[in-house]
Structure 1
Amino acid sequence: MRGSHLSRTRTLTTVLALAVAGTAVLSGCGQKQQTVGSAPPPKKPDAFEQRADQIVRHWPKVSPVTGRQQALLPLAGADRPKGKDVREITVTVGHSACDVDFGARGHESKDLVVITGWGKRKSSKGMCTEQLATDKVKVRLKSALGDRKVVDAATGKELFKS
Structure 2
Amino acid sequence: MAATGTVALSGCGGQTQKVGTEPPKKQDPFERRADQIERDWPKVSPVSGRKDAMLPLVGADRPKDTATREITVTVGHGACDAKYGVHTHESKGFVVVAGWSKKKNAKGMCTEQLATDKVKVRLTSPLDDRKIVDAATGKQLAGK
- For 1:17-56, what aligned pairs fall within 5 Å after superposition? 17-18=17-18, 20=19, 43-56=25-38
Structure 1 counterpart of 2:6: none
Task: Indicate the structure with greater helix content.
Answer: 1
Structure number with greater Rg is 1
Of the candidates 76, 88, 99, which is equivalent to residue 70 of structure 2?
Answer: 88
Name the TM-score, length of structure 2 as normaliser. Answer: 0.83
Stretches of structure 2 lacking an aligned partner (at least 5 in a row):
1-12
Are 1:67 and 2:49 counterparts? yes
Distance, in Å, in 1 between the alignment partners of 2:24 and 2:106 is 31
**CA-atom RMSD, angstroms?**
1.9
Indicate if the aligned counterparts of 2:54 and 2:136 stay in contact, CA closer than 8 A: yes
Indicate if the aligned counterparts of 1:105 and 1:139 stay in contact, CA closer than 8 A: no
Task: Indicate the structure with greater strand content.
Answer: 2
Name the TM-score, length of structure 1 as normaliser. Answer: 0.74
Deviation per CA, 1:97-138, whole angstroms, max 9, x where unpaired? 111000112101111110111101112743322110101111
SS of 2:17's partner is: helix
Aligned length: 132
Which 4+ stretches in 1 moved above 4 angstroms? Answer: none
Q: Which has the higher contact order (CA 8 A, sep 6+)?
A: 2
SS of 2:116's partner is: strand
Stretches of structure 1 lacking an aligned partner (at least 5 in a row):
1-11, 23-38
